[in-house]
Amino acid sequence: MSQQHHHELPVIHPPEAFAKNANVSGMAAYEALIKRAEEDYEGFWADQARRLLHWQKPFTKILDESKAPFFTWFEDGLLNASYNCLDRNIERGLGDKTAIIFEADDGQVTRTSYAQLLAKTCQYANVLKSLGIQKGDRVIIYISMSVDGVAAMQACARIGATHSVVFGGFSAQSLRDRIEDTGAKLIITADNQMRGGKQLPLKSIVDEALSLGGCESIHKVLVVKRSGADIAMTAGRDVWLAELANQQPTTCEPVWVEAEHPLFLLYTSGSTGKPKGVQHSTGGYLMHAALTTEWTFDLKYDDVFWCTADIGWVTGHTYIAYGPLALGGTQVVFEGVPTYPDAGRFWKMIQDHQVSIFYTAPTAIRSLIKAAEGTAAVHPDRYNLNSLRLLGSVGEPINPAAWEWYHQHVGGSRCPIVDTFWQTETGGHMITPLPGVTPMVPGSCTLPFPGIQAAIVDEAGHDMPNGEGGILVVKRPWPSMIRTIWGDPERFKKSYYPEEFKGKYYLAGDGAIRDAKTGYFTITGRIDDVLNVSGHRMGTMEIESALVSCTDLVAEAAVVGRPDDTTGEAICAFVVLKRSRPTGDEAKQIAKILRDHVGKEIGPIAKPKDIRFGDNLPKTRSGKIMRRLLRSVAKGEAITQDISTLENPAILEQLADNH
């Protein structure tokens, strides 16, 4: 008997019946796709774009690399994203098919067919047109999970306006910054949002954002009535969306746009202060959204697909608003939170709606494991989850123990798990198992999606051998990649196509390692100052800037991440005040003021979990903050690094004190 290493993880093969019927069936089929992409890269992608999308004017150019790294795909083709998601499915006879099963926070369920979703989208598009919104104008959408949210995105796409959805958990300041950066003309919002039985503000945050200055581009605010609560409406600027929409016809001619036309802007945290407006194209993006939904999720006609992300994040764009609709799928859209009225909500919904494909984040899984272990009544074993055939994970690497629990207790040990690595900037899956192909290893995102040339290199851009960690890059442009950072092409080049790699390779910003034997990828964490908290990227600089902007209190701040059992990473802030170092209750009080301030500046997701006060920060003699040391302090590790260059070693003791 061979010696089994205790750290070796099991290899789990796709069930035979699944593999046989899968959209990509068996390893030989995957290898044939890889080979096709290697032999004729452009032809491979062009085939998919022709097969999956309706082109009003077919493209003749595939990839143009002449202005690298500003690549273009299918640029002389014309299409419309909304036509591809809605009209085309109705023309295929799917008008009465359910597009969205919406479950509200309180459990109320509404079903919307493709014909109904098109009618609503057209009415919203006509409202936008009547208010002077044209092709190329930007529209901000600040709304919770709803059919209205999806229809608003589709309505923008229909008339060629570029949408920028802002997650409903962002603060007035964050919203203001995004309005100013996009130069948007109009906002679509709701009176309130319902989450976990509570009514949370949306419209009043929009009012606050607009009062902060810099939002002069906004002419109109369209408000969806969600709670019906009494809210302030500014005459001439604010209008109830339904009142305008009900007067509009339910048809609206799609505006055919170039494949490179910006479908949306979505802001994401970078390693330096200001969030980056990631710009995505229409053609390449929509093609990859459809292709990955078809191959990674193996979507079939009768599946019920449920991605639990919010439409404010890229996952909600690609795998709610566009991918499943482009394939004529049926999906669940959920307004609430996984723990209300209790932590069995997800399992109950899977049972009620007969969900067959379920896609969620490791943080949600880990918190539901905790809940299930504490309360037997909310354990997935208490629900009938036999409808499930495929599970997915997104947002951050999933730890093997959570993977195994998810596989066993949610998937009944019969469902493959697709652990998908991708980013806001990549538009769709980059490295992922294909469920009918890939033997799975818990915690590994396994192999690149066909056509994606992922690799691991050292600082100079040389390939690393399998088994040695390095920097994750993509060697060739792909259709759904980021086109630029809105209004800042220089920052785009610096961030993603740095000089060190001769401007040739896309830099993902993550470290990774490939298994010495299988070549499988495992993501090891960010290589820059970006934290992954509950699957959401948070720039340490952004949080530091928010802390330091509390000018009457804070002299200096440094933010690092530390491992956290539920959220993956937790935000830990080291703060020097403009007064003496507080202790005891006073420290707790000031920590609360600072947390609330960060919540106000960025949003609740950015609030530091730990705040520690010191008389100073550990600096080198040249004045550089030693963040590496702070990471060790945050983890509670003994300091083993060389601290001889440290100006003030005693400070470390102080900072180890946690509030």
Place of tokens 């949003």: 603
Which of 69-83, 195-209, 519-533 shows the lowest per-residue confidence on average (mean pLDDT)?
519-533
Of residues 551, 531, 554, the one with CA closest to residue 608: 531
- What's the whole-number mean pLDDT along residues 315-344? 97
Number of other CB atoms surrounding residue 340 within 10 Å: 16
Using DSSP bridges, classify how beta strands 470-474 and 506-514 pair: parallel, antiparallel or unpaired.
antiparallel
Note the pLDDT tens digit of each residue in 568-585.
889 999 998 988 889 889
Note the pLDDT tens digit of each residue in 116-164.
999 999 999 999 999 999 999 999 999 999 999 999 999 999 999 999 9
**pLDDT of 541 higher than 80:** no
Place of tokens 């999933």: 398
Place of tokens 């089994």: 4
Element (H, E) at 266: strand 264-268
**pLDDT of 94 higher than 60:** yes
Place of tokens 């493709």: 114
Which of 347-361, 371-385, 612-626 shows the lowest per-residue confidence on average (mean pLDDT)?
612-626
Element (H, E) at 332: strand 330-334
Place of tokens 């802390």: 547
Of residues 264, 295, 296, 251, the one with CA closest to residue 81: 264
Tell me what pLDDT residue 8 has.
72
Alpha-carbon distance of 29 to 6, in angstroms, equals 33
Total number of residues shown for the chain: 659
Tell me what pLDDT residue 5 has.
38
